[in-house]
Amino acid sequence: MSASSPNQNPNQLEQIVARQRQQQQRFKTGVNISYGVLLLALAFLFSGLEFNIGPIAITTISLDFVFIRERIGFIFGGVGLTIMLAILSISLACVLALLGALGRLSKFPPAYALSTFYISLIRGTPLLLQIIFFFLALPQLGIRLSGLTAGVLALGLNYGAYMTEIMRAGIQSVGIGQREAALAIGMTQSQIMRRIILPQAFRLVVPPIGNEFIAMLKDTSLISVTGFVWEILWRSQRVGRQSFRNLEALLMAALFYWIITIIFSAVQNRIEAYLGKGERNSGGMIH
Amino acid sequence: MNEIVQVGELDKYFGPLHVLKNLSLMVQKAEVICIIGRSGSGKSTFLRCINFLEQPDYGWIEVDGLRVPAQGSGRDYRTLIHNLRLKTGMVFQSFNLFPHKTALENVMEGPLTVKQMDKTAARQLGLFYLDKVGLVHKRDEYPSRLSGGQQQRVAIARALAMEPQVMLFDEPTSALDPELIGEVLGVMQKLVQEGMTMLTVTHEMGFAREFAHRIVYMDEGHFVEIGPPKQIFDAPQDERTQLFMNAFSRFERPGNGG
């Protein structure tokens, strides 16, 4: 019997859909099982077990769980500060990135030059150097900054330079027709930027800025070099050195960063999904 | 003098390309001008020069007594262009509604930000013009939820809300599905009947024939022929106009054509 088109046979269509769904489901289950195996392997690696399989002696890493239990609270105490540092720095970076992007798009030569200079200088030097510079070099010029201020300034300046490109792309992706329509009803350049271009650009740059924020959460750890900011890495290094338990201490710090990242990535996915939906429902780009 | 729009000796280059060649045109108040021609003939560029979305290289534009030379610089010159734009309204082929604003907000945007009207007055004005294009019931919809024809009608309302002296239509129906063209032409017809001065770049020969007072046929940056629809459609004087019209009539009116 020749196969009839699935369009004409609802039963067959259902079967096809069911089969596709089954394949997707099977993949998801496989991934979850693999995660489980990986976690078990990790747990085994740090289980502290020692045994022989025939002639081979198996040794796993044994952790000092008493130390971990005692100190995990202290290290966890840095989570709030880490998140706060990232929020402060990303806020500064957003402002700088917007100014930088406007400069890069400006027809006013000094604005363009200043913005290009800023980006080049910041991207041409290491972030770690910038943080140390703000903390150690500026006092020589009579500018004394706390570790926290120096760190936030350096991180904000650094990320601002990188995010300039994101902002610029966001602004440029708003169609030329939008600007023309606004000009045609007599709006001024600044009105157009504020009321027409930026609101549309922001919607586009929120997801990439979310990515920057997630990267920044980890880069706040660089501020620990100033020695006076009690964020996660600084705390873990402190307790690690005190008790010669650097392995446990750094593993705890790593775990906290990882968990924070997973949580914020989930938030980021939500925001992205929401914005995507909003665009279809309420603001599809015309171009 | 009844001339509301005057264009004098207009020239425009895109790089080395000479796209508008010494164009002059006087438009009477309440006159409807349709500009037709092949794509690339410069008709859209000409229209866009009238409100300086394209800056001409030579000549001048005058709307409602305000004369703006093609070139200039400084704050005063920019103010001049700004004031010229306030006297003109423009409708685009691709609508260009603001996607992050509702239909009503789109129409209110000009009165609110440019004329600094207070919110209640701007809202009233917005509703008045949305009503004029028959879309009051869609006031709270975002553009993406409107059909192309509805979007274009909102765009017309947005331009009208600035109460311009002249309306510029740049191929207002070219991006529309055939079944949506009628509603936009309907709104334009209403404007004609209300005595709005209009310059329209269009391929809608039916509209041009019925409502235009004069038709401008453009080719390679020249005004080849300007005249009433009867002349342009039925007895074109210039050979190039004849060729263009022949090509068109074959499709437009197969009964009469060759």
Same domain, yes or no: A41 and A163: no
CB-CB under 8 Å, B90 with A286: no
Per cent of chain B over pLDDT 90 is 85
Judge whether residue B255 has pLDDT over 60: no
Q: Is A287 on the interface with B (CB under 8 A)?
A: yes
- Judging by DSSP bridges, how do beta strands B166-170 and B197-201 pair with one another? parallel
Give yes or no: residues A28 and A106 share one domain: no
| DSSP codes joined into one string, B53-95 | SS--SEEEEEETTEEEES---HHHHHHHHHHHHHTEEEE-TT-
Same domain, A223 and A130: yes
Query: Which structural domain range is residue A171 located in?
Result: 65-281
Does one domain contain both A46 and A125? no
> What integer best gives the mean pLDDT of chain A?
90
Task: Give the residue from chain B lying closest to A199, CA to CA.
Answer: B100
Q: For the domain B1-87+167-258, what is the CATH superfamily, name and number?
A: P-loop containing nucleotide triphosphate hydrolases (3.40.50.300)
Residue A1 is assigned to a structural domain of this protein: no
CB contact (8 A) between residue B99 and residue A281: no
Give the separation between CA B91 and CA B100, rounded to whole angstroms: 19
Partners of B86 in the beta sheet?
Answer: none
The residue of chain A with its CA nearest to that of B50 is A184
Say if residue A43 is in the same domain as residue A145.
Answer: no
> What is the dihedral sign for C-alpha A144, A146, A147, A149?
negative
Cβ atoms of A220 and A131 within 8 Å: the answer is no
Query: Which CATH number covers residue A133?
Result: 1.10.3720.10
**For residues B64-84, average pLDDT:** 93
**Structure confidence at residue A5 (pLDDT):** 55
Q: Report the relative pairing of strands A56-59 and B32-37 from DSSP bridges.
A: unpaired
Q: For residue B256, is pLDDT > 50?
A: no
Give contacts of B96 with chain A, Cβ < 8 Å: 175, 177-178, 180-181, 286
- A137 and A26 within one domain: no
Report domain extents, chain B: 1-87+167-258, 97-163
Cβ contacts below 8 Å, chain A against chain B, sum to: 84
Q: What pairing do the DSSP bridges indicate for beta strands B32-37 and B3-14? A: unpaired
Number of domain units in chain A: 2
Question: Between chains, do A175 and B96 touch, taking CB under 8 Å as contact?
Answer: yes
Nearest to A187 among B89, B99, B113 (CB): B113
Summarize pLDDT for A227-243 with one digit per residue, the tens.
888 999 999 999 999 98
C-alpha A73/C-alpha A79 separation (Å) is 10
State residue B194's pLDDT score: 94
Q: List residues in chain B touching A: CB distance below 8 A.
A: 51, 53, 82, 85-86, 88-90, 92, 94-100, 109-110, 113-114, 142-145, 155, 158-159, 162
pLDDT over 70 for what percent of chain B? 96
Has residue B98 got a pLDDT over 80?
A: yes
In a domain, A83, yes or no: yes
- Residue B253: pLDDT above 80? no
Check: CB of residue A115 under 8 Å from CB of residue A106: yes
Task: Indicate whether A23 and A77 sit together in one domain.
Answer: no
Do A205 and A116 fall into the same domain? Answer: yes
* Minimal Cβ distance to A185: which of B99, B109, B143: B109
Pair A205, A93 in one domain: yes
Both A16 and A81 in a single domain?
A: no
Q: Do A106 and A45 share a structural domain?
A: no
Q: pLDDT tier at A11 (50, 70, 90 boundaries)?
A: confident
Structure confidence at residue A282 (pLDDT) = 41
- ipTM above threshold 0.85: yes
Above 70 in pLDDT, residue A6?
no
User: Cβ–Cβ of B96/A196 closer than 8 Å?
Assistant: no
Residue pLDDT, tens place only, B194-224: 999 999 999 999 999 999 999 999 999 999 9
pLDDT for B36 equals: 94
pLDDT at A229: 86
Predicted TM-score (pTM) of the model is 0.79
